[in-house]
Amino acid sequence: MTQRTLSIIKPDAVQRNLQGAILKMIQDSGMKIVAMKMLQLSKDEARGFYAVHQDKPFFDSLTDYMSSGPIVVSILEGENCIEKYRDIMGATNPQNAQEGTIRKAYALDIEKNSVHGSDAPDTAEAEMAYFFSRMEMVG
């Protein structure tokens, strides 16, 4: 089944100039980029994006971090790409991430973990709509 998912290259990775390396790992896996932009979230925009985590103890720190610098957001398309991208990212905590994954290679810790990917079809739809209009999605 062809799916779409939202990818974010987070501030820790953009700050270290890892956009190209991470996008290469994504593209080498065969997924297609059908939308992309670079932006910096405000604290309120980061709160809105991560609203599902608002009761978590790490919410304030997470939203400070996610609004601390530029991010690269993109929409990926491919066969089962929601699960596929999560496999390529690796575990949320890089200490548990497998060799060959983005987080194993680049994540700094459980919060500054370099990338985000949607976890299910309904969240993918909501997350893509958070950043992109239909006109910005090609293909």
Q: What amino acid positions are annotated as catalytic residues?
A: 116
The structure tokens listed for 120 are: 């299910």
Q: Which part of the chain contacts ligand CMP (CB under 6 A), choosing from 18-26, 29-37, 75-83, 110-118?
A: 110-118
Query: Quick check: 68 binds ligand CMP (CB under 6 A)?
Result: no
- Could you say which of 19, 68, 92, 123 contacts ligand CMP (CB under 6 A)? 92
Residue 109: which residues within 8 A CB-CB, separation 6 or more? 93, 94
Query: Quick check: 111 binds ligand CMP (CB under 6 A)?
Result: yes
- Could you say which of 21, 33, 91, 110 contacts ligand CMP (CB under 6 A)? 110
Neighbours of 128 (CB within 10 A): 23
Report the length, in residues, of the chain: 139
Handedness of CA 72, 75, 78, 83 (dihedral sign): positive
Query: Quick check: 62 binds ligand CMP (CB under 6 A)?
Result: yes
Query: Quick check: 47 binds ligand CMP (CB under 6 A)?
Result: no
Query: Quick check: 113 binds ligand CMP (CB under 6 A)?
Result: yes
> Is beta strand 71-79 parallel, antiparallel or unpaired with respect to 2-9?
antiparallel
- Residue position matching structure tokens 């400070």: 64
- Residue position matching structure tokens 């501030």: 11
Residues in contact with ligand CMP by CB under 6 A are 53, 58, 62, 92, 110-111, 113, 116
